[in-house]
Structures are given as C-alpha cells and as structure tokens.
Amino acid sequence: MTIMRLLLVLSLLCPLVSGYSERDRAHDLMSKYPLIDGHNDLALQLRILHNNRLSQIDLHNVSKVATDITRLQAGHVQAQMFAVYVMCGAQEKDAVRLTLEQIDVVRRMCTEYQDFELVTSAQELKTSQMRHKIACLISIEGGHSIDSSLPALRMFYQLGVRSMALTHTCNTPWAESSSKVYNVYQRHNNSLTHFGKAVVEEMNRLGMIVDLSHTSWDTAGAVLKHSKAPIIFSHSSSHSICNHSRNVPDWLLQELKKNRGLIMVNLHNNFISCRDDANISHVADHFDHIKNVIGAELLGIGGDFEGAISFPQGLEDVSKYPALIQELLQRNWTENDLADVLRRNFLRVFEEVEMVRDNLREKMPSEVQIPIKEVQNPCRLVLRPPDRRGLPSDQTPSSRADQRPTDLIILALVLLLQRLLKME
C-alpha cells in the first residue's frame, strides 16, 4: 500500500518536476492533430459590422468578434467551416441573392489572405494541413437559401458549398425546424416532405454534407433513415445534459451511430448549461455523456463563435480551444480519442460522403420540382405565356397592336386642331 501511495505521489509530481504540464500536452496534441471546427459565423459579422467590405479591415486582427487569423492560429484551428447564413425573414424574398453575397465574402477572404485556403474536398483538406494553411469550407446554414430549388442547390455546390443545414429557425416548405420563432410552413406528421427527401438525395449525389443542426427531432430522424451518406450535427450538444430543443436526445444519438455520422458540440452557454453562464467543465460534461452513449468516434467540435452571444468562461474566443482539450485530458480522455474529436472523425465523414457521391456518379441530376401549392411564395414567378382567353378583349396583345394606328391618328388630329386655333 505504501509503494502504491508513493507511485501516486510521483505520478502527480512528475509533470511539475519535468515542467511538462497538461497544458503543454494539449498544445502538442493539437499541433499534431489541429482542429477542424464545424461552425463559425464570421461571415455574418462581416456583413453586420462592415457590410462585407473586406478592404476596410485586416482579418489578422478584427475587433468586436471572437475570430480572426491570429486567434485561429493560436487555437490550433486548421480548418474552419464558415457558415453562409441569411435571416429567415429573407425566405420568400431575396434569400438566394443574400446567400450568393455571403458566399462571395467567404470566397474573397479565403482567397485574398495567404493564411487561408479554400478547399472543396477531403483530399484538399488534408493537403492544406501539410501546406500550413487554415482551410476554409463553405456551409449554407438554412435550407431557405435554395428557395426550394434543386438547380439552385447544384449551383451553390459549383460555387464551393460542401454542406447545408436543412433548416435554421424557420421551417422550409419541405423540412421542419427545432424552433417555433417563425410561424411559417406549419405541417402535421410530415416533417420531411417528398421534396425534402429529394433534397437529401441530391445532396448525397453531389457529395454535399447534410447538416441537421437546427432541424426538429422528427426531421432529423427522417433524414437519418433516408440518407445514404453520413450526416453531421455541425453545432449541437447533448439534450440529456441541457434540455434545450437545439440539442440532441440520446435516442437520436443512437440513430446517428447507425448512420456513422458526427455530432460537433456547440459551445453557446444556453446550449451547454441552459443558463446565460457556463464554464469549461460544463462543456466537458457534454463530451463525456455523448462519448458514453455512442463513443468518441462520432464526436467533434462546432464552436458557433460569432453566431451566439455568450460562451463559457475560459472559452471566449477561438484561441481558447486548447483549454477544452486540456480539460478532457484531465478527465482521462486518451490522445487517440482526442485526435478523433479534433479532426479524424470529420475527415472520415467527409470521405464517406464523397464515396457515396462516387457510387452515385451514374445517377442523373434530379429534376424533382416542388409543387407550387407547397411553396406559397408570392414572389415566385411561374414562367408561362399569358392565357389570352382570360383577358378582356381590349387587353389582348393583338387588340392593343390594332389600336396603335388609331391612337396616332387621333393624336395628329388633336395637334392640328390646336394649331388652327392658335392661327385664329
């Protein structure tokens, strides 16, 4: 017993004597396996604070935000999924235009700055690490951005989008949100419509990652059963630890395990502690619980910086990620488990999504269209010739053309009469 106590004391003293602490261990681990972060809303803040005018700022050091190049490097963030988000109020209006503008600003910042590199494949993501670049992945946050159009979805893919969340805080005509903020497109017992399934199928065919953060549990369950490829929750946490509707319950985690997908833990206080304040220990509780339910091989990190208001003490910006890894090391997480969490799990999912795409290469692009009655969008133009039978006789194109010579004659007579009157 005395020998055992002595060994325990020595094990505790060794880091102090050697000067190699858990903090050093966390930084070393993240140097070897730098983080792939599943969600960041910097593009939204660039619009809010700077109207997307990149010429007015230096992305190495940006005030009023939690993300810039300097802090990404300090936090060992090697790849960042940048969200392209437009407000739900743009649904049925100009969501597609706004989404294009947000894609533009992400593409610009990731091509105009040498520290960044825009990537569109798992292989490019791996190569960017060897090139010591911060890889940029583009993700659309909210299916309302495609205006219920599969051609629009395909064009976004061509622009570099590699992931899309099916909803944000509003329902789309074809999928259901976890939020009740917007009373739009309400349905009963139809959380993923026929067109919604076509969206998932087309994303599988393209090789675009399906993101279920923000969807309702019923929609998430339906997608997990329908998708041929693994899906992600890019920024969601455990409902068992914090019973917020944005978090994932254990039964849905089990479905995720069958799908071989990934849940990337969100750091927003309200999703972590269900309060306005939280700390790193609260965040680690989510990791522990999810690991116990489905294993570390289905876990990742999706911080949600710039998209939420408050973050745990000690995790206030992207430079602080090593503190979370240090906490998990202190909770006896193995370095192999943490290597999975930091990057290997996401790479595995991305590669499997691309494998499904390759297996579907013979499948033609989907031509499924959503029924007009399901969209109910007054701004959606139906391209067809006017029905002449429904027009009054004096409003048909031919009758208007016939009237033109008569109108000119009348106008000439009026002008002539005015000249004669002046001569008198």
Q: Is 168 a catalytic residue?
A: yes
pLDDT in the model for residue 5: 60
pLDDT category, 378, cuts 50, 70, 90?
Answer: confident
The DSSP 8-state label assigned to residue 183 in this structure reads -
- Catalytic one among 68, 147, 211, 214? 214
Any catalytic annotation for residue 214?
yes
- The burial of 367, by beta-carbon neighbours within 10 Å (0-12 exposed, 13-18 middle, 19 or more buried), is given as exposed
The answer to whether 180 and 216 are in contact (CB under 8 A) is: no
Average pLDDT over residues 349-367: 98
Which pLDDT score is estimated for 379? Answer: 80
The Cα–Cα gap between 163 and 160 comes to 9
Collapsed DSSP state (helix, strand, coil) of residue 48: helix
Q: Taking Cα atoms as reference points, which of 343, 274, 341 lies closest to residue 312?
A: 274
Return the residue matching tokens 């946490």. Answer: 237
Tokens of 305: 């910086």
**How many alpha carbons lie under 13 Å from residue 390 in its C-beta half-sphere?**
3
* Average pLDDT of span 298-327: 97
**Which listed residue (41, 68, 255, 285) is catalytic?**
41
Tell me, rounded to whole angstroms, the distance of Cα 257 from its chain centroid. Answer: 21
* Catalytic residue check, 41: yes
Q: With the C-alpha atoms ordered 232, 134, 129, 295, is the resulting torsion angle positive or negative? A: negative
Which is catalytic among the residues 304, 306, 317, 340?
A: 304
Indicate if 60 belongs to the active site: no
Which candidate in 92, 117, 144, 168 is catalytic? 168
Strand ranges inside 212-267, DSSP E: 232-233, 262-265
CA distance 277 to 159: 39
Predicted confidence (pLDDT) at residue 406 exceeds the cutoff of 90: no
Could you tell me the pLDDT band of residue 396, with boundaries at 50, 70 and 90?
Answer: very low
Residue 345 has pLDDT above 70, yes or no: yes
Amino acid at 299: L
More confident residue, 202 or 2: 202
Which ranges of 227-279 does DSSP label H, i.e. alpha helix? 250-259, 269-272
Provide φ and ψ at 226, rounded to 5°: -95, -35
Distance, in Å, from the CA atom of 141 to the CA atom of 159, rounded to the nearest integer, reads 15
* Sequence-ordered list of residues with C-beta below 8 angstroms from that of 334, at least 6 positions apart, any chain: none
User: What residue ranges do the domains of the chain occupy?
Assistant: 36-365
Decide if 104 is catalytic: no
Q: Of 76, 144, 235, 268, which is the active-site residue?
A: 235
Q: What is the pLDDT of residues 136-155, one digit of tens each?
A: 999 999 999 999 999 999 99
- Which is catalytic among the residues 37, 92, 117, 141? 141
Domain 36-365 CATH class label:
alpha beta
- Indicate if 39 belongs to the active site: yes
Residue 239 annotated among the catalytic residues of the structure:
no
For the chain, how many helices (H) and strands (E)?
17, 9
User: Which three-class secondary structure state does DSSP give residue 245?
Assistant: coil
How much is the average pLDDT of 201-220?
98
